[in-house]
Amino acid sequence: MAMGMVSSSAAITHAHASAATALPRATPPFLASAIPLFPIAHLSCSVIFTSPSSTSYLDRQLVKPTISNFSCLRRDRKGCISEIPQLIVLPEAWRRSRRLFLRPVSELHANGDTSTSPAEEKRVQLSRSALLWRSAKVPMYSVVAVPLCVGTAAAFLETRLFSCGQFFLLLLSSFFIMAWLNLSNDAYDAETGVDKEKEESLVNIIGNQSGVLVAAYVCLFLGLFGLAWGAFQAGDVRIVGLLFAAISCGYLYQCPPFRLAYKGLGEPLCFLAFGPFATTAFYLCQAVVRGSGVFQFSKSVIAAAVVIGVTTTLILFCSHFHQIEGDRSSGKNSPLVRLGTESGARVVELAVNSLYLLLAIMGVFKVLPLYAVLFCFLTYPVGQYVRDFVKTNHANKQAISIAKYYCVCLNIAFGIALVLGFLVAASIPTPRLWRT
């Protein structure tokens, strides 16, 4: 490691130039342009771009470190290949190390390394810890944090009130609800066989479906208890109704006897749960002061809830692209099974374009604060990349598998934009021409 850290500046500059020219097609240009800014090490910007949930990067020619390849491979004494998430990658040290290697499996066989079989060229055997990390789906927990943050910021705009204890209680409870969704999804999908080829399914990893299901409902109980306590502190019965509706959408989506996701109704349920239901419920949790009477919804929070519902639904829709064969064989009639990948790519393009058109309409009719509209339009490069990436790679099963993580980025970007817009609008007077 020390040898890599003291390498000459000329060698490091050459390594960075080579890495920039060897960027994979999946690397967003707005991230690729940042590579020259790191003279010694590449810094991993987000777990979303380095998530082990994507298997496509294992099949790439990992010869040079790039902005999207921050997980490296390590072979233990038993010959098992595992992933090591890296926050900082030192190019020279990484290449010189004997335990960390950047060569594809095919190159290992060409050099006479027979510790892995040829069948692993397409499917690398991962360690148990790496599969457990994949099954955690950490980036997906942002889909519950975004509605909470947006709803809280909208409430602050209207009331100038913020309860830190209430916020973190709702955040922790929402994480428990999301854990229930993930665990119960793995458990119930194991019953139908849709996840029989899915390595990162927790049921396939530990081999105990009932245990996973018990853990799921423990998380559901803890989440419900926390959300109920938050609603009780606010003292508004509407919060209970909205949160119950949001959680019911999750149950209807995947749990028997309903399993509406198998009938292609997952996307509408996702939109309602994370958009109008969750966002407005979190808004009331912060806006309502116990004993102060009924607080009305603002047009800003309703508009923001629609936007967040659309971006969250895009995540679910894009997660189907690489699972069409498995969904069709198990009887899961997802939208992509009906439409196909080419038509599905057109739907993504239409959704992204419509999202910014809707944003412009909200701006014209002054539904959202001026600053929120301006910040949201700054996310256009991310939306454009999502649209173009899906359009280009919809037929590539391995490449398209990371499209959902780019949609997660878009969802987070819109969440940050709306939060900043609401906070700035609460601090800086709105221009006179924009006032209603």
Say if CB 62 and CB 102 are below 8 A apart. yes
Q: Is the pLDDT of residue 408 over 90?
A: yes
3-state SS class at 230? helix
Mean pLDDT value across residues 311-336 = 92
Q: How far apart (Å, rounded) are the C-alpha atoms in residues 212 and 191?
A: 12
DSSP secondary structure letters along 247-269? HHHHHHHHSTTT-GGGGT-HHHH
Q: How far apart (Å, rounded) are the C-alpha atoms in residues 209 and 200?
A: 14
In degrees rounded to 5, what are phi and psi of residue 264?
80, 20
**What are the tens digits of pLDDT across the range 115-170?**
444 444 334 456 777 777 777 889 999 999 999 999 999 999 998 889 999 999 99
* Residue the block writes with tokens 């309409």: 361
Q: Is the pLDDT of residue 109 over 90?
A: no
Q: Is the pLDDT of residue 87 over 90?
A: no
Q: Is the pLDDT of residue 313 over 70?
A: yes
- The side-by-side arrangement of strands in the sheet containing 100-101 is 81-85, 71-75, 100-101
* More confident: 81 or 228: 228
Q: How far apart (Å, rounded) are the C-alpha atoms in residues 346 and 339?
A: 10
- The phi-psi region of residue 340 (left if phi > 0; otherwise alpha if psi is between -120 and 50; otherwise beta) is left
Say if CB 240 and CB 228 are below 8 A apart. yes
Q: What percent of the chain has pLDDT over 90?
A: 51
**What are the tens digits of pLDDT across the range 181-225?**
999 998 998 888 877 777 777 888 888 889 999 999 999 999 999
Say if CB 378 and CB 417 are below 8 A apart. yes
Q: How far apart (Å, rounded) are the C-alpha atoms in residues 173 and 166?
A: 11
Mean pLDDT value across residues 394-414 = 94
**Who contacts 356 (Cβ-Cβ below 8 Å, separation ≥6)?**
377, 380, 383
The region of weakest confidence among 4-8, 75-79, 99-103, 370-374 is 99-103
Residue 136 pLDDT: 83
Q: How far apart (Å, rounded) are the C-alpha atoms in residues 422 and 282?
A: 15
Residue 387 pLDDT: 96
Q: How many CB atoms lie within 10 A of CB 285?
A: 26
Q: How far apart (Å, rounded) are the C-alpha atoms in residues 154 and 148?
A: 10
* Residue the block writes with tokens 């906070």: 423
Structure tokens at 392: 């280009």
Residues β-bridged to residue 43: 88
**What are the tens digits of pLDDT across the range 22-68?**
334 444 444 443 333 333 233 333 333 333 333 333 333 333 333 33
For the chain, how many residues are written? 436
**Who contacts 322 (Cβ-Cβ below 8 Å, separation ≥6)?**
397, 398, 400, 401
* Residue the block writes with tokens 């001026």: 370
Query: What is residue 36's DSSP assignment?
Result: G
* More confident: 10 or 381: 381
Q: Which of 306, 282, 259, 89 is nearest to 169 (CA)?
A: 282
The domain locations on the chain are 2-130, 137-434
The region of weakest confidence among 109-113, 133-137, 313-317, 361-365 is 109-113
Residue 131 pLDDT: 74
**What are the tens digits of pLDDT across the range 261-279?**
999 999 999 999 999 999 9
3-state SS class at 73? strand
Mean pLDDT value across residues 240-267 = 94
Query: What is residue 125's DSSP assignment?
Result: P
| Reported confidence tier of residue 244, pLDDT bands at 50, 70, 90 | very high
Residue 130 pLDDT: 76
Q: Is the pLDDT of residue 102 over 50?
A: no
Q: In this structure, what is the dihedral angle of CA atoms 247, 252, 256, 261, given to the nearest 10 degrees?
A: -130
Average pLDDT, the chain: 76
Indicate the pairing of strand 42-43 with strand 100-101. unpaired
Q: How far apart (Å, rounded) are the C-alpha atoms in residues 429 and 436?
A: 13
Say if CB 391 and CB 422 are below 8 A apart. no
Residue 126 pLDDT: 62
The region of weakest confidence among 41-45, 296-300, 332-336 is 41-45
Q: Is the pLDDT of residue 308 over 50?
A: yes
Q: How many CA atoms does the CB half-sphere of 57 hold within 13 Å? A: 28
Radius of gyration for the alpha carbons in the chain, expressed in angstroms and rounded? 23
**What are the tens digits of pLDDT across the range 337-351?**
999 999 999 999 999
Stretch (H or E) spanning 82: strand 81-85
Structure tokens at 385: 């990349």
In degrees rounded to 5, what are phi and psi of residue 416?
-65, -40
Q: Which of 135, 75, 129, 130 is nearest to 105 (CA)?
A: 75
**Who contacts 289 (Cβ-Cβ below 8 Å, separation ≥6)?**
159, 161
* Chain-centre distance for alpha carbon 406: 7
